[in-house]
């Protein structure tokens, strides 16, 4: 098979579930286009995950050091600045050694595709004379906001009531990523991840975005004037989209073990569009009061619901909730989200609006109720509600709590009202546009083909 590869790409992922999965899916797309793909992550992260890549996959997995091979220390876990500084110091050399090792084994690298959070990797690529491609896991709209912050055009603290960026819908301060407004000054170390990538973006030969051109054409066109930007998303398994990659029906890497059979068996006899699916991702953590309000809101709505509550969050649930659920609800620690969203029984998704979850819902035509937790999720929700018009914002009270009455009202509006039907119709429209984008001749498919053609000529 090796003599059939057009090129060999290293894909260097930031060590987090929401970053490694998009990279892994892009590996599969590259392999489909006859490019050898090697996924690279850290040894400390790889120790924590389970992998179930398809048996016919040719994707290689390699690890490098972040300086914490036996596990990230508590201080570095709480302060990403400490972690990133050590990763940068150790990772540069470790990635260089990996490239040399692969070359010595007769598998030379042609291109380094690096998560934008690890922007120093472009210097490793250039050290070896390789193509360097930045990979952004957030929307182009969010990247546009951070670029304006980097350039000093967006000033903090925010004082304007309305904020305009090229190609982006008009935003209010609360629509900005939380680090810039709602949590301004609380997480300064995250700026190294989100703003510093623009320090050396000009060195990248390509800027790849896990987005879809049709979702945000104006801002993509604006970004193209500065950098060689190409949208290559959504990085969702092919069997849920164009079905051109055999057996690609799961990401293959997870930090949590999903309750596959339990979830799918529970779903199978439920009426069409009757279930509210609730999940807030792998990181969000809510207060005891918020978890209890959510629980009683779901029960009071009197719809079927499937709720993902991670083991670390279970103690926050009402003590008698399992007795109260009867046959209406199911609570699991983790689930096969794509399969759940694709099931015809699911009519609504209550989500934290993480970009991966948002892309999955858009790809599968599921209306959303947004409960953002932090970071870019507030900006994603603005687009869900006001640009793509496929969901509702769940308003919180003066203490920031989403009350049970609001949960119930939002569910009723999405599941039972005329407005909810309109959302569903628009969700189907976006689903079809997104599927077309990755199918042969679609916007993302053409961008990937162009990228492959260029790196194959190096």
pTM: 0.95
Measured distance CA(103)–CA(98) in Å, rounded: 9
- 407 and 318 in a single domain? The answer is yes
The chain-wide mean pLDDT, for the chain, equals 93
Q: How many domains does the chain have?
A: 2
Q: How much of the chain, in percent, has pLDDT values that exceed 90?
A: 82
What's phi and psi for 290, nearest 5 deg? -65, -40
- 430 and 445 in a single domain? The answer is no
Q: Residue 2's pLDDT band (boundaries 50, 70, 90)?
A: low
- 214 and 316 in a single domain? The answer is no
Give the CATH number, domain containing residue 235: 3.40.50.2000
- 151 and 290 in a single domain? The answer is no
**Catalytic option among 110, 115, 205, 248:** 115
CB 307 within 8 A of CB 365: no
- 294 and 209 in a single domain? The answer is no
- 55 and 186 in a single domain? The answer is yes
Angle formed by the axes of helices 17-32 and 355-364, nearest 10°: 50
Specify the pLDDT at position 186.
67
Measured distance CA(325)–CA(307) in Å, rounded: 11
- 284 and 371 in a single domain? The answer is yes
- 379 and 448 in a single domain? The answer is no
pLDDT tens string 332-355? 999 999 999 999 999 999 999 999
DSSP E strands in 24-59: the ranges are 36-42, 50-51
Is pLDDT of 458 > 80?
Answer: no
DSSP E strands in 20-89: the ranges are 36-42, 50-51, 60-64
- 205 and 289 in a single domain? The answer is no
What is the gyration radius of the CA atoms in the chain, in angstroms? Answer: 22
CB 205 within 8 A of CB 132: yes
Q: What is the mean pLDDT of residues 284-310?
A: 94
**Catalytic option among 8, 19, 119, 343:** 19
- 23 and 138 in a single domain? The answer is yes
Identify the weakest region by mean pLDDT among 49-53, 201-205, 269-273, 353-357. Answer: 49-53
- 104 and 145 in a single domain? The answer is yes
Q: Which domain holds residue 44?
A: 2-251+440-456
Specify the pLDDT at position 209.
98
- 241 and 377 in a single domain? The answer is no
Query: Is 115 assigned a catalytic role?
Result: yes
């Amino acid at each position: 098979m090796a003599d059939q590869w057009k090129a060999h790409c290293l894909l260097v992922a930031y060590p987090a579930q929401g970053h490694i999965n998009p990279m892994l899916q892009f590996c599969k797309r590259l392999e489909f286009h006859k490019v050898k793909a090697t996924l690279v992550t850290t040894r400390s992260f790889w120790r924590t995950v389970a992998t179930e890549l398809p048996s016919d996959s040719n994707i290689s997995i390699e690890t490098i050091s972040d300086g914490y091979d036996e596990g990230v220390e508590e201080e570095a876990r709480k302060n990403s600045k400490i972690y990133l500084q050590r990763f940068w110091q150790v990772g540069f050399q470790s990635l260089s050694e990996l490239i040399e090792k692969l070359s010595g084994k007769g598998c030379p690298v042609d291109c380094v595709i690096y998560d934008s959070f690890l922007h120093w990797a472009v210097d490793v690529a250039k050290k070896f004379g390789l193509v360097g491609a930045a990979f952004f896991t957030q929307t182009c709209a969010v990247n546009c906001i951070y670029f304006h912050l980097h350039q000093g055009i967006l000033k903090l603290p925010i004082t304007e009531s309305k904020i305009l960026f090229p190609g982006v819908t008009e935003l209010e301060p609360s629509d900005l990523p939380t680090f810039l407004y709602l949590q301004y000054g609380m997480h300064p170390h995250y700026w190294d991840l989100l703003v510093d990538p623009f320090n050396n973006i000009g060195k990248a030969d390509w800027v790849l975005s896990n987005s879809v051109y049709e979702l945000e054409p104006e801002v993509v066109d604006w970004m193209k004037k500065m950098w060689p930007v190409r949208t290559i998303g959504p990085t969702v398994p092919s069997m849920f989209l164009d079905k051109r990659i055999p057996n690609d029906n799961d990401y293959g890497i997870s930090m949590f073990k999903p309750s596959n059979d339990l979830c799918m068996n529970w779903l199978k006899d439920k009426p069409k569009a009757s279930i509210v699916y609730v999940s807030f991702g792998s990181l969000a953590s809510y207060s005891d009061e918020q978890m209890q309000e959510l629980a009683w809101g779901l029960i009071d709505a009197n719809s079927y619901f499937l709720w993902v509550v991670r083991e670390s969050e279970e103690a926050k649930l009402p003590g008698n909730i399992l007795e109260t659920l009867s046959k209406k609800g199911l609570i699991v620690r983790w689930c096969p989200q794509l399969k759940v969203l694709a099931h015809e029984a699911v009519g609504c998704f209550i989500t934290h609006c993480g970009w991966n979850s948002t892309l999955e819902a858009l790809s599968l035509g599921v209306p959303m109720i947004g409960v953002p937790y932090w970071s870019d999720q507030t900006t994603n929700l603005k687009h869900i509600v006001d640009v793509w018009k496929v969901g509702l914002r769940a308003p919180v009270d003066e203490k920031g709590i989403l009350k049970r009455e609001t949960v119930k009202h939002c569910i009723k509006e999405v599941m039972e009202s005329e407005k909810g039907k309109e959302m569903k119709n628009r969700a189907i429209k976006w689903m079809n546009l997104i599927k077309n984008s990755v199918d042969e001749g679609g916007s993302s498919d053409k961008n990937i083909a162009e990228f492959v053609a260029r790196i194959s000529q190096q």
